[in-house]
């Protein structure tokens, strides 16, 4: 009997060996790139695994029979594969997953896992997860992969990759379709689709950013008061449900040193709590004299997913910055832009700019039914500015006869402290329904945002020329009344702040601040708020999709805030948005859109009591047609747009003597143009991003007749960029990548100062950049070479007293280690 049971046991074990097999395979995307952590399961069994970092999987102990395998991964369509397992067949599969056009989340709570230059889904265009090809408006973007490959650290470094977007100055200050957007105005630059107060002086740092998006034209129907040219949205990196850790260090030209870290993954075994923390540090010099940057970024994020229906995300970004405020290069007064070195700044040794910023965001998404979802998000931001600067008074020095001294710049000093708080809330319902042949995505929501300049904001200002008794200063020099001024031995007026000598061998000295005569400028507390109710319907019928949006927006600015004479000034606007998309075939969608926009322009918005506001709101109207297409098996996306943008009420500097901050409001401007964007893979391992924009942005109505027909300031008629990278994936050079790019910007006018005069011109330029990459398992080595031909160029400027040169030839070396 014992022998009989032993024989049966042997036969059973033998049968298990004979009649069970293993299933192996490789999972990749459409570019033949392996996908890690794909869930592979056998339906109606408990067996399942995840793919390894090389996209491979193996399921052992599978009995003979017929099975269905399911492959799932965030950002890709689920795939089902029928297989047969028998004694002679141990399946080895090659699985290609297709990127999904629908996002599993209605707001970005969990990080996205794309690893390409190409991005297929956006929330900023419709406030819902919508494929970019289905949005009837031009949206350009830059992903974290392109940011990494180009060694970019600031927002201004990457705008060249988006058609129609260029720098206006050194600052957080850009031009989109010929219209200026800038920090300090929370209508222009968003974080995760919400208004956050940002510095105007310092460019926004992006090591913690997942992607940068620009929705072209007014986005007022979505966000209320918004810039006419476009709205920039920075999307922060969110937690992933898989462990990923990396650290990197960069060093290079101008004593650049940076260190970054990115850690993410689940905090619990069931992956209901996810975390991410991004850290960044920079201690760098500059090609500009006296300039440096010390920056620290701490950006933790936490996602809580208690069920498939509930998602919560908390996101905090803390930034500190220390440096000097760079007001640009001043040329000699002979009108020659090349007469001084691009290194020339006007700072003194004891100047400084210290800024602190933090943004806290809490996002919530609740799936009420399978058709109804509620989304809400709250953001609080805080900005502190502490400034001491020597800067030009926007004019050259005067001698005793009132004649210009072309080698000397008249100077002024600002000592300023300010604190801003901003809060905003957005809440909306998404509802899917069908009415006959029509499919609807309904959106009903409410937005509220407020911005406050806190009590205590004030500025000491020293400028002009000393009076005859040397007891004070007079803002401007009048040679006809020279007896009112203190004169030196040569009969020239004595400046309150010493002139800057552009020909001096070493003009950079430590200034005695106690020697100046100051006036006090108080920044009275300010408060503004904007709120709106909006309704949107995305309708699909066959090959047609329509987008209908309506928003009623209210803007309130409190004049005399926190005083007994406080007065509310309220403006409102009704904002329609109409769009139509037609799927011509599986590759091409064509679209047309009409959008109204408005942007209030009160003294509070421009944050300067000397500007002369309040002003009428800026009104805009956009007509746009275009096409969005996918080629080469959806690897390559090509988008083009033709637009006509009408804007009324833009602000310009008035050129008023003694008040360089005074503004005037022009009549009408029209921007007409064509844009082209190409992003994706030409072939596996060969990526490209390219764009071109023609923009005819002119003043069409003005109080000064000679201004009519003039191209707008810092708005190039032509702008283009190409960047391509190829990675060798076979042979002894496997892992080696080469990148090459060029960007071109046509000549531009500086800002208009004196109405009726011809602005100064900043010349066109073309730059060449390159990158070399080498991947060694967990280590990536990267060398970026920028401005290879050492081209002298200017990225923008107000005039030749405040010109903003670009960097000469430079390099960055980066080492990244993936833990």
Please check whether residue 352 is in contact with residue 417, taking contact to mean a CB–CB distance below 8 angstroms. no
Q: Quote the CA–CA distance of 735 and 298 in Å, as a whole number.
A: 32
Q: Read off the pLDDT band of 613 (50, 70, 90).
A: low
Residue 329 CA to its chain's centroid (Å): 26
Residue 619: enclosing H or E segment and its boundaries? strand 615-631
Please check whether residue 739 is in contact with residue 768, taking contact to mean a CB–CB distance below 8 angstroms. no
Peptide bond into 614 cis (omega under 30): yes
Q: Quote the CA–CA distance of 357 and 385 in Å, as a whole number.
A: 9
Residue 640's SS3 state is strand
- Is pLDDT larger for residue 431 or for residue 33? 431
Q: Quote the CA–CA distance of 331 and 455 in Å, as a whole number.
A: 39
Nearest-CA neighbor of 138 among 556, 540, 723, 676?
676
- Output the CA–CA distances (angstroms, integers) from residue 130 to 104, 350, 592, in the order listed: 11, 51, 17
CATH, domain 244-818, list 2.40.110.20, 2.30.30.30, 2.40.170.20, 3.90.1150.10: 2.40.170.20
Q: Quote the CA–CA distance of 378 and 614 in Å, as a whole number.
A: 29
Q: What is the pLDDT of residues 392-420, one digit of tens each?
A: 999 999 999 999 999 999 999 999 999 99
For the domain bounded by 2-96, which CATH number is listed? 2.60.40.10
Q: Quote the CA–CA distance of 790 and 132 in Å, as a whole number.
A: 37
Q: What is the pLDDT of residues 195-237, one digit of tens each?
A: 888 999 999 999 999 999 999 998 877 888 888 899 999 999 9
Q: What is the pLDDT of residues 134-181, one digit of tens each?
A: 999 999 999 999 999 999 999 999 999 999 999 999 999 999 999 988
Instruction: Provide mean pLDDT across the span 250-256.
Output: 97
- Output the CA–CA distances (angstroms, integers) from residue 189 to 192, 194, 682, in the order listed: 10, 9, 32
Q: What is the pLDDT of residues 296-320, one digit of tens each?
A: 999 999 999 998 889 999 999 999 9
Q: Please give the pLDDT value at position 109.
A: 61
Task: State percent of the chain over pLDDT 70.
Answer: 91
Nearest-CA neighbor of 605 among 651, 659, 543?
651
- Residue ranges, CATH 2.40.170.20, the chain: 244-818
Please check whether residue 781 is in contact with residue 812, taking contact to mean a CB–CB distance below 8 angstroms. no
**Residue recorded with tokens 């832009």:** 337
Residue 96: enclosing H or E segment and its boundaries? strand 92-96
Q: Quote the CA–CA distance of 481 and 460 in Å, as a whole number.
A: 27
Q: Please give the pLDDT value at position 752.
A: 60
Q: What angle do CA 194, 196, 199 make, to 5 degrees?
A: 150
Q: Quote the CA–CA distance of 282 and 270 in Å, as a whole number.
A: 37
Q: What angle do CA 585, 591, 597 make, to 5 degrees?
A: 160
Which phi and psi (to 5°) does residue 706 adopt? Answer: -70, -15
Residue 263's SS3 state is strand
Q: Please give the pLDDT value at position 378.
A: 96
Q: What is the pLDDT of residues 501-529, one digit of tens each?
A: 999 989 999 999 999 999 998 888 889 89
Please check whether residue 575 is in contact with residue 551, taking contact to mean a CB–CB distance below 8 angstroms. yes
Which phi and psi (to 5°) does residue 737 adopt? Answer: -125, 145
Please check whether residue 662 is in contact with residue 653, taking contact to mean a CB–CB distance below 8 angstroms. yes
Please check whether residue 778 is in contact with residue 819, taking contact to mean a CB–CB distance below 8 angstroms. yes
Q: Please give the pLDDT value at position 61.
A: 83
- Residue ranges, CATH 2.60.40.10, the chain: 2-96
Rg of the chain over Cα atoms, rounded to whole angstroms, equals: 30
Q: Read off the pLDDT band of 753 (50, 70, 90).
A: low
Contacts of 563 (CB under 8 A, 6+ apart): 524
Cα-Cα end-to-end distance for the chain: 58
Question: pTM value?
Answer: 0.84
- Residue ranges, CATH 2.170.130.10, the chain: 121-236
Domain 121-236 listed as CATH 2.40.30.10: no
- Output the CA–CA distances (angstroms, integers) from residue 43 to 26, 69, 321, 456, in the order listed: 19, 6, 54, 66
Please check whether residue 322 is in contact with residue 347, taking contact to mean a CB–CB distance below 8 angstroms. no
Do β-strands 189-191 and 230-236 pair in parallel, antiparallel, or remain unpaired?
parallel
């Amino acid at each position: 009997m014992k022998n009989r049971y032993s024989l049966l046991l042997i036969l059973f074990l033998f049968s298990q060996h004979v009649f069970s097999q293993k299933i192996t395979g490789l999972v990749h995307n459409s570019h033949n790139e392996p996908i890690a952590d794909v869930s592979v399961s056998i339906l109606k069994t408990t067996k399942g695994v995840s793919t390894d970092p090389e996209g491979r999987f193996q399921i052992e102990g599978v009995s003979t029979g017929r099975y269905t395998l399911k492959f799932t991964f965030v950002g890709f369509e689920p795939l089902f594969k029928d297989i047969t397992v028998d004694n002679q067949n141990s399946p080895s599969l090659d699985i290609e997953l297709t990127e999904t056009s629908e996002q599993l989340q209605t707001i970005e709570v969990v990080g996205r896992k794309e690893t390409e230059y190409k991005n297929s889904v956006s929330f900023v265009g419709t406030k819902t997860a919508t494929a970019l090809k289905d949005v009837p408006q031009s949206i350009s973007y830059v992903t974290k992969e392109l940011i990494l490959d180009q060694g970019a650290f600031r927002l201004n470094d990457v705008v060249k990759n988006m058609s129609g977007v260029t720098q206006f100055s050194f600052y957080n200050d850009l031009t989109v379709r010929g219209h200026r957007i800038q920090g300090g105005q929370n209508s222009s630059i968003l974080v995760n689709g919400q208004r956050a107060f940002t510095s105007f002086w310092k460019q926004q740092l992006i090591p913690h950013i997942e992607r940068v998006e620009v929705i072209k034209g007014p986005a007022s129907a979505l966000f209320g008061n918004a810039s006419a040219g476009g709205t920039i949205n920075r999307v922060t990196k969110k937690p992933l449900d898989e462990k990923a850790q990396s650290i990197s260090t960069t060093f290079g030209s101008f004593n650049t040193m940076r260190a970054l870290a990115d850690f993410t993954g689940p905090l619990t075994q069931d992956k209901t709590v996810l975390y991410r923390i991004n850290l960044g540090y920079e201690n760098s010099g500059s090609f500009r004299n006296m300039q440096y940057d010390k920056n620290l970024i701490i950006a933790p994020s936490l996602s809580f997913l208690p069920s498939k229906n509930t998602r919560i995300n908390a996101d905090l970004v803390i930034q500190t910055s220390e440096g000097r405020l760079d007001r640009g290069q001043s040329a000699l007064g002979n009108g020659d832009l090349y007469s001084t070195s691009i290194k020339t700044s006007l700072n003194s040794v004891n100047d400084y700019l210290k800024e602190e910023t933090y943004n806290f965001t809490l996002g919530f998404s609740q799936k009420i039914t399978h058709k109804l979802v509620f989304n809400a998000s709250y953001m609080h931001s805080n900005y502190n500015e502490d400034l001491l600067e020597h800067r030009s008074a926007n004019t050259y020095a005067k001698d005793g006869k009132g004649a210009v001294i072309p080698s000397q710049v008249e100077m002024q000093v600002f000592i300023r402290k300010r604190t801003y708080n901003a809060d905003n809330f957005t809440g909306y319902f998404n509802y899917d329904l069908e009415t006959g042949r029509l499919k609807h995505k309904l959106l009903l929501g409410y937005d509220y945002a407020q911005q406050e300049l806190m009590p205590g904001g004030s500025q000491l200002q020293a400028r002009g020329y000393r009076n005859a008794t040397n007891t004070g200063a007079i803002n401007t020099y009048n040679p006809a009344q020279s007896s009112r001024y203190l004169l030196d031995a040569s009969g020239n007026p004595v400046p309150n702040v010493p002139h800057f000598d552009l020909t001096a061998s070493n003009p950079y000295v430590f200034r005695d601040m106690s020697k100046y005569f100051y006036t006090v400028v108080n920044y009275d507390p300010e408060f503004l708020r904007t709120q709106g109710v909006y309704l949107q319907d995305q309708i699909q019928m066959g090959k047609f999709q329509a987008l209908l949006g309506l928003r009623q927006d209210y803007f309130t600015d409190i004049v005399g805030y926190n005083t007994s004479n406080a007065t509310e000034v309220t403006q409102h606007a009704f904002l329609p948005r109409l769009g139509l998309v037609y799927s011509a075939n599986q590759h091409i969608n064509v679209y047309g859109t009409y959008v109204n926009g408005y942007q209030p322009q009160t003294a509070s918005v421009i944050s300067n009591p000397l500007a002369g506001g309040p002003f009428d709101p800026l009104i805009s109207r956009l007509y746009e047609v275009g096409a969005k297409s996918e080629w080469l098996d959806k690897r390559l996306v090509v988008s083009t747009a033709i637009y006509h943008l009408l804007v009324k009420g833009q602000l310009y500097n008035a050129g008023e003597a003694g008040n360089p901050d005074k503004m005037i409001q022009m009549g009408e401007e029209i921007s007409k143009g064509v844009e082209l964007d190409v992003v994706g893979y030409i072939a596996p391992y060969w990526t490209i991003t390219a764009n071109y924009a023609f923009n005819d942005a002119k003043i069409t109505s003005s109080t000064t007749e000679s201004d009519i027909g003039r191209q707008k300031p810092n708005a190039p008629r032509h702008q283009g960029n190409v960047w391509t990278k190829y990675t060798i994936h076979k042979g002894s050079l496997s892992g080696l990548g080469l990148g090459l790019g060029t960007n071109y910007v046509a000549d531009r006018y500086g800002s208009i100062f004196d109405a009726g005069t011809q602005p100064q011109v900043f010349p066109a330029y073309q730059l060449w950049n390159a990158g070399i990459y080498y991947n060694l398992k967990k280590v990536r080595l990267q060398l970026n070479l920028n401005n290879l031909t050492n081209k002298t160029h200017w990225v923008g400027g107000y005039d030749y007293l405040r010109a903003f040169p670009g960097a000469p030839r430079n390099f960055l070396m980066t080492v990244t280690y993936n833990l």
